[in-house]
Amino acid sequence: MGISNDVLSSIKIPSGLQVELFEHEYKGRTLTLTSDVLCLVDYNFNDITTSFIITALSPPTTQPQTTTALRTTTTPAPTTTAGLISTPPPLSFNWSAHHREIFQPLVWYTFDDPNDLGKDSSGNGYNATNHGATHDSAANCKRGQGCVHFSASGAQQYMTMDSRLDLGSIQQTSGITVSFWGYMSAGSGSYARFFDFGGGQSNNNWLVAVPEPATDQRLFQVHSYHGASNVIVDSYYNYMISIWHQFVISIYPDDGSALANKWFIWVDNVLVCDACETDRLYSVSNVAQRGWYLARSHWSGDGKTDGGLDDFRVYDGVLTPSQVAQLYTDSVTVACSPPATTSIPTTTTPFPTTTTPFPTTTTSFPTTTSMPTTTPAGASPLESGPEEPMQVWAVYPAYITCRMLYTWDQVNQGQRARVKSFRSGGLGNLMIARKYEVWVCSYQDECAKPGNAFCYVYDEQRKLFLPWGLQEDLMLS
Protein backbone atom coordinates (compact mmCIF):
# COMPACT_ATOMS: atom_id res chain seq x y z
CA MET A 1 0.00 0.00 0.00
CA GLY A 2 3.04 2.30 -0.01
CA ILE A 3 2.79 3.29 3.65
CA SER A 4 5.93 3.86 5.71
CA ASN A 5 6.17 2.85 9.35
CA ASP A 6 4.93 5.33 11.98
CA VAL A 7 3.69 8.02 9.56
CA LEU A 8 -0.07 7.33 9.31
CA SER A 9 -2.01 10.47 10.33
CA SER A 10 -5.41 9.95 8.66
CA ILE A 11 -7.28 7.22 6.85
CA LYS A 12 -10.12 6.70 4.34
CA ILE A 13 -12.15 3.49 4.70
CA PRO A 14 -14.71 2.36 2.09
CA SER A 15 -18.15 1.31 3.27
CA GLY A 16 -18.34 -2.29 4.43
CA LEU A 17 -14.77 -2.59 5.66
CA GLN A 18 -13.30 -2.57 9.14
CA VAL A 19 -9.65 -1.64 9.77
CA GLU A 20 -7.76 -2.52 12.95
CA LEU A 21 -4.52 -0.58 13.39
CA PHE A 22 -1.69 -1.90 15.57
CA GLU A 23 1.09 0.08 17.22
CA HIS A 24 3.51 -2.82 16.72
CA GLU A 25 3.52 -6.08 14.76
CA TYR A 26 -0.04 -7.20 15.52
CA LYS A 27 0.30 -6.29 19.19
CA GLY A 28 0.52 -3.31 21.47
CA ARG A 29 -2.10 -0.58 21.31
CA THR A 30 -4.92 -1.06 18.80
CA LEU A 31 -7.54 1.13 17.16
CA THR A 32 -10.54 -0.30 15.29
CA LEU A 33 -12.26 1.92 12.70
CA THR A 34 -15.11 1.54 10.19
CA SER A 35 -15.09 5.03 8.66
CA ASP A 36 -12.81 7.87 7.61
CA VAL A 37 -10.67 9.65 10.21
CA LEU A 38 -9.24 13.04 9.26
CA CYS A 39 -6.76 13.26 12.14
CA LEU A 40 -5.56 10.32 14.24
CA VAL A 41 -4.24 12.73 16.88
CA ASP A 42 -7.81 12.78 18.24
CA TYR A 43 -7.43 9.07 19.01
CA ASN A 44 -3.83 9.34 20.29
CA PHE A 45 -2.81 7.14 17.35
CA ASN A 46 -0.92 9.63 15.18
CA ASP A 47 2.29 8.41 13.48
CA ILE A 48 2.51 5.11 15.40
CA THR A 49 0.89 2.52 13.09
CA THR A 50 3.08 -0.45 12.12
CA SER A 51 0.59 -3.15 11.05
CA PHE A 52 -3.11 -3.52 10.31
CA ILE A 53 -5.93 -5.97 9.63
CA ILE A 54 -8.70 -5.23 7.10
CA THR A 55 -11.95 -7.14 7.56
CA ALA A 56 -14.97 -7.17 5.24
CA LEU A 57 -18.06 -6.72 7.38
CA SER A 58 -20.94 -9.04 6.65
CA PRO A 59 -23.48 -7.84 5.74
CA PRO A 60 -21.91 -4.61 4.42
CA THR A 61 -22.72 -1.57 6.51
CA THR A 62 -23.48 1.98 5.47
CA GLN A 63 -20.48 4.12 6.24
CA PRO A 64 -21.22 6.01 9.46
CA GLN A 65 -20.28 9.63 10.11
CA THR A 66 -18.26 8.78 13.23
CA THR A 67 -15.79 6.08 14.08
CA THR A 68 -16.45 3.12 16.32
CA ALA A 69 -15.05 2.86 19.81
CA LEU A 70 -11.64 1.46 20.59
CA ARG A 71 -11.28 -2.29 20.83
CA THR A 72 -14.59 -3.31 19.36
CA THR A 73 -15.81 -6.75 20.32
CA THR A 74 -17.54 -7.39 16.99
CA THR A 75 -16.66 -10.81 15.58
CA PRO A 76 -14.86 -10.29 12.25
CA ALA A 77 -16.32 -11.75 9.10
CA PRO A 78 -14.26 -14.41 7.31
CA THR A 79 -12.79 -12.06 4.68
CA THR A 80 -9.69 -10.64 6.33
CA THR A 81 -6.50 -9.09 5.00
CA ALA A 82 -3.47 -8.38 7.16
CA GLY A 83 -0.35 -6.42 6.43
CA LEU A 84 2.85 -5.06 7.88
CA ILE A 85 3.74 -1.47 7.11
CA SER A 86 7.42 -2.14 7.71
CA THR A 87 9.99 -4.74 8.61
CA PRO A 88 9.67 -6.10 12.16
CA PRO A 89 9.34 -3.21 14.63
CA PRO A 90 11.00 -2.98 18.05
CA LEU A 91 9.59 -4.99 20.90
CA SER A 92 7.37 -3.06 23.29
CA PHE A 93 6.82 -3.84 26.95
CA ASN A 94 3.57 -2.80 28.59
CA TRP A 95 4.14 -1.26 32.01
CA SER A 96 0.85 -2.80 33.06
CA ALA A 97 -2.21 -4.36 31.47
CA HIS A 98 -4.30 -1.65 33.10
CA HIS A 99 -2.80 1.39 31.39
CA ARG A 100 -5.20 3.44 29.36
CA GLU A 101 -4.51 3.06 25.66
CA ILE A 102 -5.71 6.58 24.82
CA PHE A 103 -5.05 10.02 26.19
CA GLN A 104 -8.67 11.15 26.24
CA PRO A 105 -9.37 12.23 29.85
CA LEU A 106 -12.65 11.56 31.60
CA VAL A 107 -12.58 15.11 33.02
CA TRP A 108 -10.43 18.00 31.80
CA TYR A 109 -10.44 21.53 33.18
CA THR A 110 -8.18 23.86 31.20
CA PHE A 111 -9.45 26.99 33.03
CA ASP A 112 -8.88 28.91 29.77
CA ASP A 113 -12.27 30.63 29.48
CA PRO A 114 -12.72 33.49 32.00
CA ASN A 115 -16.47 33.33 31.41
CA ASP A 116 -16.70 29.58 31.96
CA LEU A 117 -13.84 28.54 34.25
CA GLY A 118 -15.37 25.16 35.05
CA LYS A 119 -15.90 24.03 31.46
CA ASP A 120 -15.08 20.35 30.93
CA SER A 121 -12.95 20.20 27.78
CA SER A 122 -13.11 16.39 27.64
CA GLY A 123 -16.53 16.61 25.97
CA ASN A 124 -18.12 14.45 28.69
CA GLY A 125 -20.03 17.30 30.31
CA TYR A 126 -18.60 17.02 33.83
CA ASN A 127 -18.44 20.78 34.30
CA ALA A 128 -17.13 22.19 37.57
CA THR A 129 -18.99 24.78 39.64
CA ASN A 130 -17.03 27.89 40.54
CA HIS A 131 -17.31 29.44 44.01
CA GLY A 132 -15.49 32.74 43.75
CA ALA A 133 -12.24 31.67 42.05
CA THR A 134 -10.82 33.98 39.38
CA HIS A 135 -9.23 33.56 35.98
CA ASP A 136 -5.52 34.33 35.64
CA SER A 137 -3.74 35.32 32.44
CA ALA A 138 -1.71 32.85 30.40
CA ALA A 139 1.53 34.65 31.29
CA ASN A 140 1.12 33.51 34.90
CA CYS A 141 0.03 29.97 34.06
CA LYS A 142 1.50 26.71 32.76
CA ARG A 143 -0.76 25.59 29.93
CA GLY A 144 -3.15 27.07 27.39
CA GLN A 145 -4.76 30.50 27.63
CA GLY A 146 -5.14 30.79 31.39
CA CYS A 147 -5.53 29.11 34.76
CA VAL A 148 -7.59 29.48 37.94
CA HIS A 149 -6.49 31.45 41.01
CA PHE A 150 -7.77 31.02 44.56
CA SER A 151 -7.30 33.75 47.15
CA ALA A 152 -7.17 33.14 50.90
CA SER A 153 -8.43 36.68 51.55
CA GLY A 154 -12.11 37.10 52.34
CA ALA A 155 -14.67 34.40 51.60
CA GLN A 156 -13.55 30.85 50.76
CA GLN A 157 -12.75 30.47 47.06
CA TYR A 158 -12.93 26.98 45.55
CA MET A 159 -14.50 24.83 42.83
CA THR A 160 -16.44 21.56 42.88
CA MET A 161 -16.37 18.80 40.27
CA ASP A 162 -19.56 17.17 39.01
CA SER A 163 -21.02 14.94 41.76
CA ARG A 164 -22.23 12.39 39.19
CA LEU A 165 -18.67 11.06 39.12
CA ASP A 166 -18.29 8.03 41.41
CA LEU A 167 -14.53 8.21 41.95
CA GLY A 168 -14.43 5.14 44.20
CA SER A 169 -16.14 2.93 41.63
CA ILE A 170 -13.89 4.28 38.85
CA GLN A 171 -10.75 3.37 40.80
CA GLN A 172 -12.04 -0.05 41.81
CA THR A 173 -13.11 -0.93 38.27
CA SER A 174 -10.54 0.58 35.89
CA GLY A 175 -8.02 2.46 38.02
CA ILE A 176 -7.86 6.23 38.26
CA THR A 177 -5.38 9.04 37.59
CA VAL A 178 -5.48 12.70 38.59
CA SER A 179 -3.04 15.04 36.83
CA PHE A 180 -2.69 18.78 37.43
CA TRP A 181 -0.34 21.74 37.70
CA GLY A 182 -0.48 23.63 40.97
CA TYR A 183 1.25 26.06 43.31
CA MET A 184 0.48 27.43 46.77
CA SER A 185 1.78 30.66 48.29
CA ALA A 186 2.81 31.33 51.89
CA GLY A 187 -0.53 33.11 52.32
CA SER A 188 -2.30 29.73 52.43
CA GLY A 189 -3.49 28.35 55.76
CA SER A 190 -2.45 25.13 57.49
CA TYR A 191 -3.34 21.99 55.57
CA ALA A 192 -4.60 24.00 52.60
CA ARG A 193 -5.72 21.76 49.76
CA PHE A 194 -5.00 21.28 46.12
CA PHE A 195 -8.00 18.96 46.12
CA ASP A 196 -10.11 17.05 48.65
CA PHE A 197 -12.51 14.48 47.21
CA GLY A 198 -14.83 13.01 49.85
CA GLY A 199 -18.24 12.87 51.47
CA GLY A 200 -17.46 15.31 54.25
CA GLN A 201 -14.94 15.23 57.09
CA SER A 202 -13.42 11.74 57.52
CA ASN A 203 -15.77 10.21 54.97
CA ASN A 204 -13.75 8.33 52.34
CA ASN A 205 -11.56 11.29 51.45
CA TRP A 206 -8.73 11.44 48.93
CA LEU A 207 -6.66 14.61 49.13
CA VAL A 208 -3.41 16.50 48.53
CA ALA A 209 -2.54 19.02 51.26
CA VAL A 210 0.29 21.36 52.25
CA PRO A 211 0.55 21.14 56.07
CA GLU A 212 2.34 24.43 56.80
CA PRO A 213 2.66 26.60 53.67
CA ALA A 214 3.60 29.68 55.73
CA THR A 215 6.58 28.03 57.46
CA ASP A 216 7.56 24.96 55.40
CA GLN A 217 6.95 25.36 51.71
CA ARG A 218 8.93 22.24 50.80
CA LEU A 219 6.41 19.79 52.28
CA PHE A 220 3.21 18.39 50.80
CA GLN A 221 1.27 15.24 51.67
CA VAL A 222 -1.06 12.81 49.95
CA HIS A 223 -3.77 11.28 52.15
CA SER A 224 -6.37 8.56 51.68
CA TYR A 225 -9.15 7.73 54.10
CA HIS A 226 -9.94 4.03 54.33
CA GLY A 227 -13.48 4.69 55.50
CA ALA A 228 -12.70 7.22 58.25
CA SER A 229 -9.18 5.95 59.05
CA ASN A 230 -6.44 8.26 57.75
CA VAL A 231 -3.65 6.78 55.62
CA ILE A 232 -0.77 9.15 54.81
CA VAL A 233 0.19 7.76 51.43
CA ASP A 234 3.45 9.70 51.47
CA SER A 235 5.09 12.99 52.46
CA TYR A 236 7.49 14.94 50.23
CA TYR A 237 10.04 17.48 51.42
CA ASN A 238 12.01 18.57 48.36
CA TYR A 239 9.61 20.77 46.39
CA MET A 240 9.24 24.54 46.76
CA ILE A 241 5.45 24.52 46.65
CA SER A 242 5.18 28.28 45.97
CA ILE A 243 6.18 27.66 42.32
CA TRP A 244 4.34 25.60 39.72
CA HIS A 245 4.73 21.81 39.82
CA GLN A 246 3.01 19.04 37.91
CA PHE A 247 1.44 16.30 40.04
CA VAL A 248 0.23 12.96 38.68
CA ILE A 249 -1.38 10.40 41.02
CA SER A 250 -2.37 6.97 39.68
CA ILE A 251 -4.07 4.14 41.58
CA TYR A 252 -4.46 0.69 40.06
CA PRO A 253 -7.89 -1.00 40.08
CA ASP A 254 -9.05 -3.36 42.82
CA ASP A 255 -8.81 -6.40 40.54
CA GLY A 256 -6.90 -8.94 42.62
CA SER A 257 -3.71 -8.58 40.60
CA ALA A 258 -0.24 -8.01 42.06
CA LEU A 259 -0.66 -4.28 41.41
CA ALA A 260 -4.20 -4.02 42.80
CA ASN A 261 -4.74 -0.68 44.61
CA LYS A 262 -1.07 0.29 44.29
CA TRP A 263 -0.27 4.02 44.25
CA PHE A 264 2.19 5.72 41.89
CA ILE A 265 2.93 9.45 42.16
CA TRP A 266 4.98 11.68 39.87
CA VAL A 267 6.11 15.24 40.57
CA ASP A 268 7.53 17.11 37.57
CA ASN A 269 7.85 13.86 35.64
CA VAL A 270 9.87 12.12 38.38
CA LEU A 271 8.39 9.04 40.05
CA VAL A 272 8.40 9.83 43.77
CA CYS A 273 6.03 7.06 44.86
CA ASP A 274 6.74 3.69 43.28
CA ALA A 275 3.93 1.49 44.62
CA CYS A 276 4.55 3.17 47.98
CA GLU A 277 1.04 2.44 49.27
CA THR A 278 -1.72 -0.12 48.78
CA ASP A 279 -5.12 1.37 49.51
CA ARG A 280 -8.36 1.45 47.55
CA LEU A 281 -10.74 4.36 47.23
CA TYR A 282 -14.24 3.97 48.61
CA SER A 283 -17.41 5.26 47.01
CA VAL A 284 -19.49 7.97 48.58
CA SER A 285 -22.80 6.32 47.77
CA ASN A 286 -24.96 9.31 48.70
CA VAL A 287 -24.60 11.65 45.71
CA ALA A 288 -25.81 14.61 47.77
CA GLN A 289 -22.86 14.11 50.15
CA ARG A 290 -20.17 14.06 47.45
CA GLY A 291 -17.91 17.05 47.66
CA TRP A 292 -15.26 16.83 44.97
CA TYR A 293 -13.46 20.01 46.09
CA LEU A 294 -10.68 21.85 44.27
CA ALA A 295 -8.76 24.15 46.67
CA ARG A 296 -10.99 23.46 49.67
CA SER A 297 -10.87 21.10 52.66
CA HIS A 298 -13.73 19.09 54.10
CA TRP A 299 -12.35 19.93 57.59
CA SER A 300 -13.60 23.27 58.87
CA GLY A 301 -10.41 23.88 60.85
CA ASP A 302 -8.11 23.68 57.84
CA GLY A 303 -6.79 26.82 56.15
CA LYS A 304 -7.78 28.38 52.85
CA THR A 305 -5.80 27.93 49.67
CA ASP A 306 -3.92 30.86 48.17
CA GLY A 307 -2.57 29.62 44.88
CA GLY A 308 -3.51 28.25 41.50
CA LEU A 309 -4.39 25.21 39.41
CA ASP A 310 -3.97 24.54 35.71
CA ASP A 311 -4.65 21.66 33.28
CA PHE A 312 -6.59 19.55 35.82
CA ARG A 313 -7.43 16.09 34.44
CA VAL A 314 -9.05 12.89 35.67
CA TYR A 315 -8.50 9.62 33.77
CA ASP A 316 -10.46 6.41 34.30
CA GLY A 317 -7.26 4.38 34.06
CA VAL A 318 -3.57 4.32 34.96
CA LEU A 319 -1.08 6.23 32.80
CA THR A 320 2.27 4.87 31.65
CA PRO A 321 5.50 6.72 32.47
CA SER A 322 5.73 7.66 28.79
CA GLN A 323 2.24 9.18 28.90
CA VAL A 324 3.12 11.09 32.06
CA ALA A 325 6.21 12.43 30.31
CA GLN A 326 4.09 13.51 27.35
CA LEU A 327 1.71 15.35 29.66
CA TYR A 328 4.64 17.05 31.34
CA THR A 329 6.14 18.26 28.07
CA ASP A 330 2.69 19.09 26.65
CA SER A 331 3.43 16.91 23.60
CA VAL A 332 -0.04 15.36 23.66
CA THR A 333 -1.40 18.21 21.58
CA VAL A 334 0.62 17.45 18.44
CA ALA A 335 -1.13 18.84 15.36
CA CYS A 336 -2.06 16.74 12.35
CA SER A 337 -0.76 18.94 9.53
CA PRO A 338 -0.07 18.04 6.86
CA PRO A 339 -1.58 14.56 7.34
CA ALA A 340 -0.09 11.41 5.92
CA THR A 341 -3.25 9.82 4.56
CA THR A 342 -3.93 6.41 3.13
CA SER A 343 -7.01 5.02 1.45
CA ILE A 344 -8.06 1.46 2.11
CA PRO A 345 -8.82 -0.25 -1.21
CA THR A 346 -12.11 -2.07 -1.77
CA THR A 347 -10.18 -5.12 -2.97
CA THR A 348 -6.94 -6.22 -1.44
CA THR A 349 -4.07 -8.55 -2.13
CA PRO A 350 -2.99 -10.76 0.78
CA PHE A 351 0.20 -9.68 2.50
CA PRO A 352 2.98 -12.04 3.55
CA THR A 353 2.20 -13.89 6.76
CA THR A 354 5.83 -14.34 7.78
CA THR A 355 8.39 -11.76 8.77
CA THR A 356 12.13 -11.67 9.11
CA PRO A 357 13.05 -12.92 12.61
CA PHE A 358 15.32 -10.96 14.91
CA PRO A 359 18.89 -12.26 15.15
CA THR A 360 19.43 -14.77 17.93
CA THR A 361 22.90 -13.53 18.80
CA THR A 362 23.79 -10.47 20.88
CA THR A 363 26.58 -7.95 20.73
CA SER A 364 29.69 -8.96 22.66
CA PHE A 365 30.65 -6.80 25.64
CA PRO A 366 34.14 -5.32 26.07
CA THR A 367 36.52 -7.32 28.23
CA THR A 368 38.62 -4.55 29.81
CA THR A 369 39.17 -5.30 33.52
CA SER A 370 39.76 -1.79 34.95
CA MET A 371 37.30 -0.42 37.51
CA PRO A 372 35.68 2.99 36.96
CA THR A 373 37.59 5.99 38.29
CA THR A 374 35.31 8.88 37.33
CA THR A 375 31.63 9.66 37.04
CA PRO A 376 29.92 11.40 34.12
CA ALA A 377 29.88 15.18 34.12
CA GLY A 378 26.47 16.83 34.01
CA ALA A 379 25.61 17.62 30.40
CA SER A 380 22.81 17.33 27.93
CA PRO A 381 22.34 13.75 26.71
CA LEU A 382 21.99 15.13 23.19
CA GLU A 383 25.42 16.76 23.17
CA SER A 384 27.53 15.51 20.29
CA GLY A 385 30.89 13.88 20.85
CA PRO A 386 33.78 12.36 18.90
CA GLU A 387 33.02 10.77 15.60
CA GLU A 388 34.56 7.41 16.48
CA PRO A 389 32.28 4.34 16.08
CA MET A 390 29.71 3.98 18.85
CA GLN A 391 29.61 0.75 20.84
CA VAL A 392 26.31 -1.13 20.53
CA TRP A 393 25.32 -2.41 23.98
CA ALA A 394 21.73 -3.55 23.38
CA VAL A 395 21.44 -7.23 24.32
CA TYR A 396 18.59 -7.58 21.80
CA PRO A 397 18.29 -5.62 18.55
CA ALA A 398 14.79 -4.51 19.55
CA TYR A 399 16.25 -2.53 22.47
CA ILE A 400 18.19 -0.18 20.18
CA THR A 401 15.18 2.15 19.88
CA CYS A 402 14.73 2.56 23.67
CA ARG A 403 15.40 6.11 24.82
CA MET A 404 16.24 7.48 28.27
CA LEU A 405 13.69 10.15 29.27
CA TYR A 406 16.03 12.02 31.63
CA THR A 407 19.37 13.82 31.63
CA TRP A 408 22.29 12.80 33.83
CA ASP A 409 21.57 15.78 36.10
CA GLN A 410 17.96 14.64 36.56
CA VAL A 411 19.13 11.13 37.43
CA ASN A 412 21.51 12.60 40.03
CA GLN A 413 18.72 14.75 41.45
CA GLY A 414 16.42 11.76 41.76
CA GLN A 415 19.06 9.66 43.51
CA ARG A 416 19.94 12.46 45.92
CA ALA A 417 16.24 12.79 46.77
CA ARG A 418 16.21 9.02 47.40
CA VAL A 419 13.32 8.39 45.04
CA LYS A 420 13.02 4.87 43.72
CA SER A 421 13.10 5.82 40.05
CA PHE A 422 16.73 5.01 39.22
CA ARG A 423 19.59 2.64 40.03
CA SER A 424 23.19 3.05 38.93
CA GLY A 425 26.60 1.43 39.32
CA GLY A 426 29.98 0.81 37.73
CA LEU A 427 30.51 -1.46 34.74
CA GLY A 428 33.40 -3.33 36.38
CA ASN A 429 35.16 -5.60 33.91
CA LEU A 430 32.92 -4.30 31.09
CA MET A 431 34.30 -0.79 31.57
CA ILE A 432 36.24 1.21 28.97
CA ALA A 433 38.04 4.01 30.81
CA ARG A 434 36.80 7.55 30.14
CA LYS A 435 34.28 6.16 27.65
CA TYR A 436 31.90 3.60 29.21
CA GLU A 437 32.15 3.46 32.99
CA VAL A 438 28.68 3.42 34.57
CA TRP A 439 25.20 2.04 33.99
CA VAL A 440 21.84 3.62 34.94
CA CYS A 441 18.51 1.78 35.20
CA SER A 442 15.14 3.59 35.05
CA TYR A 443 11.99 2.02 36.48
CA GLN A 444 9.74 4.47 34.62
CA ASP A 445 11.28 3.91 31.23
CA GLU A 446 8.82 2.95 28.49
CA CYS A 447 10.94 -0.16 27.81
CA ALA A 448 10.81 -1.22 31.48
CA LYS A 449 8.52 -3.88 32.94
CA PRO A 450 6.74 -3.69 36.31
CA GLY A 451 9.48 -3.95 38.95
CA ASN A 452 12.11 -4.57 36.26
CA ALA A 453 13.94 -1.39 35.24
CA PHE A 454 15.41 -0.81 31.81
CA CYS A 455 19.14 -0.06 31.87
CA TYR A 456 21.50 2.12 29.85
CA VAL A 457 25.26 2.50 29.57
CA TYR A 458 26.42 6.11 29.77
CA ASP A 459 28.70 7.30 26.97
CA GLU A 460 30.89 9.88 28.70
CA GLN A 461 32.30 11.32 25.49
CA ARG A 462 29.02 11.83 23.64
CA LYS A 463 26.98 12.42 26.84
CA LEU A 464 24.44 9.82 25.72
CA PHE A 465 22.56 6.98 27.39
CA LEU A 466 23.00 3.86 25.23
CA PRO A 467 20.28 1.17 25.54
CA TRP A 468 21.44 -2.02 27.26
CA GLY A 469 18.71 -4.29 28.62
CA LEU A 470 16.34 -5.16 31.47
CA GLN A 471 17.81 -5.13 34.95
CA GLU A 472 16.86 -8.72 35.79
CA ASP A 473 18.30 -10.06 32.54
CA LEU A 474 21.56 -8.22 33.18
CA MET A 475 21.57 -9.45 36.82
CA LEU A 476 22.28 -5.94 38.12
CA SER A 477 21.59 -5.30 41.79
Contact 183, 244 (CB under 8 A): yes
Nearest to 27 by CA among 53, 46, 1: 53
Instruction: Give the residue, 128 or 428, on which the prediction is more confident.
Output: 128
Choice among 148-162, 175-189, 265-279, 326-340 with the minimum mean pLDDT:
326-340
Mean pLDDT score, 194-201: 96
CATH 2.60.20 domain range(s) in the chain: 1-93+340-356
Helix/strand/coil for 81:
strand
How, if at all, do strands 220-226 and 229-236 pair? antiparallel
Q: What percent of the chain clears pLDDT 70, i.e. is strictly above it?
A: 72
Does the structure show a pLDDT above 90 at 48? Answer: no
pTM for the full predicted model: 0.54
Does the structure show a pLDDT above 70 at 83? Answer: no
Report DSSP state, residue 400: G
Choice among 2-6, 113-117, 291-295, 413-417 with the minimum mean pLDDT:
2-6
pLDDT of residue 330: 65
Write the pLDDT tens digit of every residue in 54-73: 888 765 444 444 333 333 33
Write the pLDDT tens digit of every residue in 364-404: 333 333 333 333 333 333 333 444 556 778 887 678 778 88
Terminal Cα-to-Cα distance of the chain (whole angstroms): 47
Does the structure show a pLDDT above 80 at 219? Answer: no
Q: How confident is the model at residue 333 (pLDDT cuts 50, 70, 90)?
A: very low
Nearest to 325 by CA among 269, 381, 369: 269
Number of H helices, E strands in the chain: 4, 25
How, if at all, do strands 129-131 and 30-33 pair? unpaired
Nearest to 324 by CA among 335, 332, 333, 334: 332
pLDDT of residue 309: 96
Does the structure show a pLDDT above 80 at 206? Answer: yes
* Cα 454 to chain centroid, rounded: 17
Instruction: Give the residue, 168 or 463, on which the prediction is more confident.
Output: 168
Choice among 221-235, 292-306, 344-358 with the minimum mean pLDDT:
344-358
pLDDT of residue 115: 95
How, if at all, do strands 454-459 and 436-442 pair? antiparallel
134-148, 353-367, 427-441: range with highest mean pLDDT = 134-148
Quickly count: other Cβ atoms within 10 Å of residue 5's Cβ: 15
Write the class of the CATH domain 1-93+340-356. Answer: mainly beta
What is the distance between the alpha carbons of residues 115 and 460, in angstroms, rounded to a whole number?
Answer: 53
- State which fold the 107-319 domain adopts: Jelly Rolls (2.60.120)
What is the distance between the alpha carbons of residues 17 and 60, in angstroms, rounded to a whole number?
Answer: 8
Nearest to 211 by CA among 195, 183, 235: 235
pLDDT of residue 82: 57
Nearest to 167 by CA among 201, 207, 123, 118: 207
